[in-house]
Each structure stands twice: as structure tokens, then as C-alpha cells.
Amino acid sequence: MNRQKVVLNAAAIVVAVVTLLPIFFMLSTSLKPAGEIFSLTPRLLPSHPTWSNYGAVISGSAAGRPYWDFLRNSLAVTVIAVVASSLIAMLASIAVARFRFRFRTAYLIMLLIVQMLPQQALVIALYLDFRAVNMLDSLAGLTILYTAFALPVTIFMLRNFVAAVPRQLEEAAAIDGASPPRVFWHVLLPLVAPGMVTTSVFAFISTWNEFVFALAFLGTDQSKYTLPVYVTYFFGQHSASWGPIMAASTLFTIPVMIFFLIVQRRLRDGMIAGAVKG
């Protein structure tokens, strides 16, 4: 029995180490001076760790503009899209979880299907539509798009949280004379709030990481780039500066990881509740 435990734990450590290896590699390269990166016998750890790669990325001397510009773009687009889609999804979830109406099943099936539409297909049509209304090179345009993209998954997950709130609570408040908006604000919303946090993690991650549309929509104006496009551009233009590229990738990844570590427990539950794209 004990031997089996040793084997299992050894397997666990191997799995964890192999899984963490690429992340470790990103961090370690980002801290290496250029000379060490191209040494003939690569080492796992930097022998003379340096922040200079981060300095070059943050100041913008590595590629065009300071990192903050791209961080600001990504944050603005992501936060607004997540908040907007959570609110819209909340309304839809109440409809689906609290009412029986015609087309209810049809609506849910529609959500499942649109979730699976390949982005490379939609991007062609939406590129032309956004071009026609002059919103191609615009962060506002991307934000609207991301809000809509986050809706299907968010609604699908959020409706379970709404359905889990006992109906009697709302009915009791209504009997006491509370109007529907009051019931929503004071009864339903506080109880569903934790569920909204969970679903918004998924919306946050998929929006923060979104690449295809940002790539197609944001043209040559670097000041509009979100972080995925910036890292890609940097990688394409200066493919040999691995130190700064890894520093930029790390700075791009860290916000997701922090966000994720805070809500890790809920995240695991949420992943089970709804199938979500990685």
C-alpha cells in the first residue's frame, strides 16, 4: 500500500514538473542576459539574472511603445466587455431560469451552436461589416465584439447559478410588496454574485487572450494593439530577441495567472459546470 503511494506521488511530481516546465522556461529566459540565452549549452537557471529584458519591454525600447500602452488597451477592452456581458447575461439567465416560455429550448440550443462557430469564419464577415461602419481600427469596436462573444458561455453558466437560488425568497419579497427591480437588486443579485464572479473569470480569460479578431481588425496603428497582437508583432519583427519576448509574454500572462489563483477553487467548479474553450 505504501509503495503504491510512493509511485503515485512520484508520478504526480513528474506530471506537475513537466506541466510547469514551459512556464518556468518563459520566466527563466526573461531573466537571462542576451549572452546566456544564446550560449551553446543552455542552462535552466540564469547565472546572472537581470531585469533588463523587462526594462526594455516596459520602456518600449524593445519594440515600439511602452508596455503600459498595450496593457491599458487590453485591460480597458477586457474589463468593459466582461462587465457588459455579465449584465446582459444576467438578464437572459433570469429569463431562462425563472420563466417557462416558447422558444426557451430553442434559445438554449442556439447558444450551444453559436458557441461553436469557428472564429476564422466569422472574422471575414465581421471584418467587412466593421469596415463598412468605420470601426475597424477601434478598441470600441473590439469591445462590442468581445461583449457579444462572451455572452453564450456566460449565459449558459450563469443560468445554473440563478436556478440554484430558491424561488421562495423572491416570492416572499414580492408578497412583502417589493417591486420586481427591488427583488432583483436586494434578493437575487446578492445571491448570484458569487456565480457572476465565476462566470466572469471565463469571460475575462477568453477576452484577454482573444487573438484572431484583434489581429484582423487592428491594422498598423500600434497604439491600438492589445497584448496578444503586441506579443505577436514583437515576435514577428524581432524574432531573435528571446529575452524581451519572454519578458513581454510573462507580463502578458501574469494578470491571468493572478486572477486565476485568486479564484482557483471556483474556477475548477466552473469548468465542470460549463464547457469552456481554453
Under the binding rule (CB under 8 A), the answer on residue 63 touching other proteins is no
What is the rounded CA–CA span in Å between residue 246 and residue 57?
A: 10
Cβ-contact 270, 157 below 8 angstroms: yes
| 42 three-class SS | coil
How many residues contact other proteins, by CB under 8 A?
96
One of 126, 153, 192, 203 touching other proteins (CB under 8 A): 126
Distance of CA 124 to the CA centre of its chain: 23
What's the start-to-end Cα distance of the chain, in Å? 37
Under the binding rule (CB under 8 A), the answer on residue 114 touching other proteins is yes
DSSP character at residue 187: I
Under the binding rule (CB under 8 A), the answer on residue 197 touching other proteins is no
In the bound complex, what is the minimum distance in angstroms from residue 228's beta carbon to other proteins? 4
Under the binding rule (CB under 8 A), the answer on residue 141 touching other proteins is no
What is the rounded CA–CA span in Å between residue 136 and residue 127?
A: 7
Cβ-contact 202, 42 below 8 angstroms: no
The amino acid present at 94, given as its one-letter code, is I
| 62 three-class SS | coil
Using the contact rule CB under 8 A, the part of the chain among 45-53, 58-66, 149-157, 187-195 near other proteins is 149-157
One of 72, 131, 182, 186 touching other proteins (CB under 8 A): 131
Using CB under 8 A as the binding rule, the residues of this chain from 2 to 61 that contact other proteins are: 8-9, 11-12, 15-16, 19-20, 22-23, 25-26, 29, 37-42
Under the binding rule (CB under 8 A), the answer on residue 1 touching other proteins is no
| 166 three-class SS | coil
In the bound complex, what is the minimum distance in angstroms from residue 169's beta carbon to other proteins? 18
Under the binding rule (CB under 8 A), the answer on residue 240 touching other proteins is yes
Using the contact rule CB under 8 A, the part of the chain among 53-61, 85-93, 166-174, 191-199 near other proteins is 85-93
One of 45, 128, 169, 262 touching other proteins (CB under 8 A): 128
Using CB under 8 A as the binding rule, the residues of this chain from 214 to 233 that contact other proteins are: 215-216, 227-228, 231-232
Phi, psi of 65 (to 5 degrees): -120, 160
In terms of C-beta distances under 8 Å and separation of at least 24 residues, what long-range contacts does 17-23 make, across chains too?
23/253
Under the binding rule (CB under 8 A), the answer on residue 169 touching other proteins is no
Under the binding rule (CB under 8 A), the answer on residue 188 touching other proteins is no
- Residue of 86, 106, 87 lying closest to 96 (CA atoms): 106
Under the binding rule (CB under 8 A), the answer on residue 71 touching other proteins is no
Using the contact rule CB under 8 A, the part of the chain among 46-54, 55-63, 123-131, 189-197 near other proteins is 123-131
